[in-house]
Structure 1
């Protein structure tokens, strides 16, 4: 035990030593750092960094050190800038995207677990651009997305049937359906009704991803030198976790990709993102690797996020019944009771469109987004942003800023509709999907999934609070602190609206 403590102490002292050397030889800054909480000698703001709902702490920093929209902290020489406003995010990440589009190295999630190969964590460069090119061709435009509309609609109809049969398993049904849609699009794989291995694999991998990337969850992200600690060392439990999680990532990258190659060899592969990348091409080893991880990026990035949003839809409908009634009235008037809404109806259902926007604003799927890294020194609004600084986004506050959104805790789709000469409030999709060259390339796919689930579910279901022992249970709005945040599990009543609704739910659907 003494040896363990001594060795870890040496590592800590080495980190402090590097920091002191840097301080001695660092040239004078051309401008002050942005304001922020005062740090301690040597270790800086290590004790200030939040682990639980960091967006709330970042919001408080923005209020307390409010001379500008940027807060600054430093931990062992690593500078971090927190952007609390849409303006600062656009001015830096959009207008100066050439230097603000890199990703920081994430020792736990990226290096040890292996998520560094996906688009979201890739450093800015040629490989990143090739990923984006693959994504844009497949799902980067509404015209490209049209070919996948039948998948969205068929799997959502199956979702309605599952919810009707077992409404108490709502969250599981949402996960199953999100996995079914993304697996069909990315690999042409049709999921099994129960215990599908690829859906289970994605659920496990994405939960591990959220845990591995959670802000402040692992000391190795603050002191990367700890990555050299052997797995058998006491206190190195994170290394064992990383090894287990790495195996999951590798399986997620390899198993469905090999499924497509086997299907193509047998001449029975349906159209998919992966088959399109492979069809008629003899790929080099590098091209094959890029194709494999491009597919994982869709598979991983498109499922867990929509699970959070659709679960939040049911939470909102439980808490705000008047909104539900208005949405149902629009569907009844435009679509009628004899068929389900489809994506072809999207332009005719403005209230449903506004409802989807409000889901994205009210329940922030990634409250602090994914960090950027600046690749050159910059002076912004009179403040120094040194090269290598981590840039964090308080997206939660940007979407709950009372100066931008009236009564931000309320779920009110009408804020996005022009009424009585009043302009709609800020479009949330310009915020919640990120900024600059790192904006989510799957945003059209995500919106289509949420829209289809919202319209079809509200067409046939009444969603309300559960009554237990004569007492109405009001769900709590309590998002998780993981990178991909989910509403706290809750109970709600989901019942068919009518006999005609039941008939629509029970219709057979197949590819």
Structure 2
């Protein structure tokens, strides 16, 4: 009898333990995936993946599926996050498991971008990059040493734009490249079509194309990587070979330039020269790729933001006039603005925030990868899921930003009828351990570009030969760093004095 009673008790306890285990583990793993559009057998949602402006399409799904949406493309789970709070909860508060990067066969394995900071998983190498880059440009104090370089290159941009206003976007690209190359490698750009700027820009154009989710089928069907390059449909293999050569030049040419200058004793201070002098010779490869990451994280985003600024000024002349009035009052008309004026220009500061919100430079950020299964808000987020934060929607949700399509810097300034709206910089530069380490440098470059341009130029809509206004088309590329499509605008000096100041700095 006693033995039977014990056996019955053991069975009950065992059953209870199994129920607990099921509740905490088994049931968790079988929690439902987040909702999303119904897919096809095997192919999943491959036909639902938008080819253009996916951030707008994902935002349009919020009413049907909510703030966490799941997609499956040939077996790969993608989680689109349409809420900034959910993004913070996942990517910052759970950053230890949400901060990896997906391995993209095309970008990382076939082309070679696996060693750039944006492509690294959490590792000692990742932490070394971050430490080196933070020491150079991670704080406002560390970037202030580069203010003279940024101001000088911006003066050159003004002069080139005055003489050739139709190519202001190309001048902005030259300026952004010149700043980063000088800071990173001590390389001073000499010509408008500088070969070093050209090779780096080409590589960054490739990168922006390669990391768009779903851009290449080989990323979801890795077996395709073994196709010979001559095989029909294997154009991606031929692209990969050409892109890899460009990437190799981007990483090695400026680095070797600095090393050669150091050997000759003529190298100016720069990120690379400072690190090579102070660092471990065995970590030269770390310095080489950290330097390439510094360029990759700053120049292209700066160009996108500057072009968006010029587009916004052409479309919103009243905003431009208000900013110019503030600059005139604080700075006057006898000199150009400088970084020293920044704290006294609150409306210009708000305008820069609105540039970042109105059309964010990276509307979907750079995708994250989940390292292990997670249960979030009752949904199973499977290990190896690709997490896509819809930054564009974070900054255009009318519940957070009133009339989000309107360019309105006043939204960040406290007034009697409203409180300031959220600072877009909380979202647009990444999350958690993946926040861009060059955020301070990008911010300072955008400030000096905007404030100097406003001080000397009037920017308006272009006109045709008959004097009719040409309405610029507001459209953006679908690359990971999104640029406005080419548009025409009319740029002229604000006054004879402004033109004299520009001529005086050529």
Map 1:58-457 to 2 at 5 A: 58-66=58-66, 69-284=67-282, 287-420=283-416, 422-457=418-453
Rounded to whole Å, the distance in 2 between the matches of 1:30 and 1:216 is 27
Query: CA RMSD of the aligned region, Å?
Result: 1.3
Q: TM-score scaled to structure 1, two decimals?
A: 0.92
- Structure with higher Rg: it is 2
Rounded to whole Å, the distance in 2 between the matches of 1:315 and 1:152 is 22
Preserved contact between residue 54 and residue 215 of structure 1 (Cα < 8 Å) = no
Rounded to whole Å, the distance in 1 between the matches of 2:53 and 2:214 is 11
Preserved contact between residue 50 and residue 216 of structure 1 (Cα < 8 Å) = no
Rounded to whole Å, the distance in 1 between the matches of 2:384 and 2:212 is 20
Structure 1 position 27, deviation (Å):
9.7
Rounded to whole Å, the distance in 2 between the matches of 1:56 and 1:194 is 36
Is the partner of 1:471 in helix, strand or coil? coil
Q: Which residue of 2 aligns with 1:57?
A: 57
Structure 1 position 58, deviation (Å):
0.9
Rounded to whole Å, the distance in 2 between the matches of 1:437 and 1:330 is 37
Distance of aligned partners of 1:41 and 1:281 in 2 relative to their CA distance in 1, 3 Å threshold: closer
Q: Which residue of 2 aligns with 1:487?
A: 484
Structure 1 position 282, deviation (Å):
4.5
Preserved contact between residue 479 and residue 485 of structure 1 (Cα < 8 Å) = yes
CA displacement 1:417-450 (0-9 Å, x = unmatched):
1111632100000100011100111111111011
After superposing the two structures, state which structure 1 stretch, 245-254 or 208-217, moved more: 208-217
CA displacement 1:453-487 (0-9 Å, x = unmatched):
00000000000111112210110110111111101
CA displacement 1:482-506 (0-9 Å, x = unmatched):
1111011000010001111012112
Q: Which residue of 2 aligns with 1:497?
A: 494
Rounded to whole Å, the distance in 2 between the matches of 1:280 and 1:214 is 37
Is the partner of 1:80 in helix, strand or coil? strand
Is the partner of 1:467 in helix, strand or coil? coil
Rounded to whole Å, the distance in 2 between the matches of 1:50 and 1:421 is 39
CA displacement 1:219-268 (0-9 Å, x = unmatched):
11121111111112121110000000000000100000000001111111
Is the partner of 1:129 in helix, strand or coil? helix
Rounded to whole Å, the distance in 2 between the matches of 1:305 and 1:45 is 30
Distance of aligned partners of 1:127 and 1:336 in 2 relative to their CA distance in 1, 3 Å threshold: same
Is the partner of 2:301 in helix, strand or coil? helix
Is the partner of 2:98 in helix, strand or coil? coil
After superposing the two structures, state which structure 1 stretch, 48-57 or 126-135, moved more: 48-57
User: After the TM superposition, which parts of structure 1 deviate over 6 Å for at least 4 consecutive aligned residues?
Assistant: none
Rounded to whole Å, the distance in 2 between the matches of 1:367 and 1:388 is 22
Preserved contact between residue 28 and residue 375 of structure 2 (Cα < 8 Å) = no
Rounded to whole Å, the distance in 2 between the matches of 1:28 and 1:157 is 59
Preserved contact between residue 210 and residue 482 of structure 1 (Cα < 8 Å) = yes
Preserved contact between residue 185 and residue 272 of structure 1 (Cα < 8 Å) = yes
Pair 1:41 & 2:37 matched: no
Distance of aligned partners of 1:329 and 1:127 in 2 relative to their CA distance in 1, 3 Å threshold: same
CA displacement 1:146-196 (0-9 Å, x = unmatched):
101111100001100000011111111111101111111111110013221
After superposing the two structures, state which structure 1 stretch, 270-279 or 424-433, moved more: 270-279
Q: Which residue of 1 aligns with 2:8?
A: none
Q: Which residue of 2 aligns with 1:472?
A: 469
Q: When the two structures are aligned, how many residues end up with a matched partner?
A: 480
Distance of aligned partners of 1:482 and 1:393 in 2 relative to their CA distance in 1, 3 Å threshold: same
Q: Which runs of 5+ in 1 are unaligned?
A: 1-25
Distance of aligned partners of 1:28 and 1:302 in 2 relative to their CA distance in 1, 3 Å threshold: closer
Is the partner of 1:463 in helix, strand or coil? strand
Rounded to whole Å, the distance in 1 between the matches of 2:63 and 2:479 is 24
Rounded to whole Å, the distance in 2 between the matches of 1:498 and 1:302 is 33
Distance of aligned partners of 1:282 and 1:443 in 2 relative to their CA distance in 1, 3 Å threshold: closer
Distance of aligned partners of 1:121 and 1:282 in 2 relative to their CA distance in 1, 3 Å threshold: closer
Q: Which residue of 1 aligns with 2:6?
A: none
Is the partner of 1:391 in helix, strand or coil? strand
